[in-house]
Amino acid sequence: MGGNVNFRSRALPGVQGLVVFCLLFNIAQILAEQEVENLSGLSRNPEKDIFVVRENGTACLLAEFAAKFVVPYDVSASNYVDLITEQTSIQIGRGVNIKGKCGTHEAELQLSWLNAAYTFKLFFSKEGHNASKGREAFWKMNKVQLMYDSAEPSHFKDAINAGRYTATTHHLSALVTPVGRSYECQAQQTLSLISTDHQKAVTLLLSEVRIQPFDIKGDVFFSEEYKCPVDQREQLEETLPLILGLVLGLVIVITLAVYHIHHKLTANQVHVPQDRSDYKHMG
């Protein structure tokens, strides 16, 4: 009897310690997810947002972009019987709340504003190296989601069947970037999301994008950029005339140099008479 009592009294601190450890571990996980920072105020573009997610004080996800949603919704026609579809344009507010998750192969950025009337989620995944198929490691944005409340009056005027809906991309593979590099694209990109509001198509317009959800080497510093094909093409179109101009100028300089050298050599040559009549004019 006494032995049992002593056993329990010794075991209890160990159980308490385990419980405390589990609570601290869970709290640490929660705090790690909440290590976020909104740096949108530093952007010169009022429509551009800058977000940082940190783990243990070190940045693990960096994102800069300008985003706008075009959301269709139903309103009553003038006869109060039929329905017509209107569109509203929604931009991310400056007072946005941020949450983020970083992982080895998965990452997430969550933004919400106007008392959670709108929540925007971006999901990222990293694919490993596959030597057998000749594919290098890369990361991509594999899902985008917008949760919105069409009862929110500042964007949805006189909405019928107002309520909370979710618009999601399907089979998305965007922003594909080699691992260890950041994605950059100044050009506007369009993504289509399907809403639970009668399968309406919500349009997401992204521009001035710079994102890196994995393998950040320095705090708040992007790794070497990987430009999107549109930016690469525009850069080539801008530099091509300059390159052609330089090549043309070089060709002209070479031609003039060759002509000058040939003219100088020709002028210094001794004229040899071709027939005897020329000898009369010599001496």
Task: Give pLDDT tens digits for 176-209.
Answer: 999 999 999 999 999 999 999 999 999 999 999 9
Whether 149 has a pLDDT exceeding 80, the answer reads: yes
pLDDT, the chain, mean: 81
Angle at 99 between CA 124 and CA 63, to 5 degrees: 50
Task: Kindly state the tokens that stand for 30.
Answer: 């929660």
Name the strand (E) or helix (H) holding 2: helix 2-33
Given this model, what pLDDT does residue 253 score?
Answer: 79
Each residue of 16-26: pLDDT tens digit?
A: 554 444 444 44
Given this model, what pLDDT does residue 129 score?
Answer: 66
Angle at 93 between CA 220 and CA 192, to 5 degrees: 90
The overall longest dimension of the chain from CA atoms, in Å, is 148
User: Using CA atoms, how far apart are residues 184 and 36, in angstroms rounded to an integer?
Assistant: 21
CA distance readout (Å), 196 to 73, 97, 122, 159, 202? 11, 24, 18, 15, 10
Beta strands 182-185 and 225-227 are parallel
**Stretch 129-143: mean pLDDT, rounded?**
77
Nearest to 71 by CA among 164, 134, 8, 3: 164
- If you search the block for the tokens 């009668």, which residue do you land on? 198
Query: 179 and 215 in contact (C-beta within 8 Å)?
Result: yes
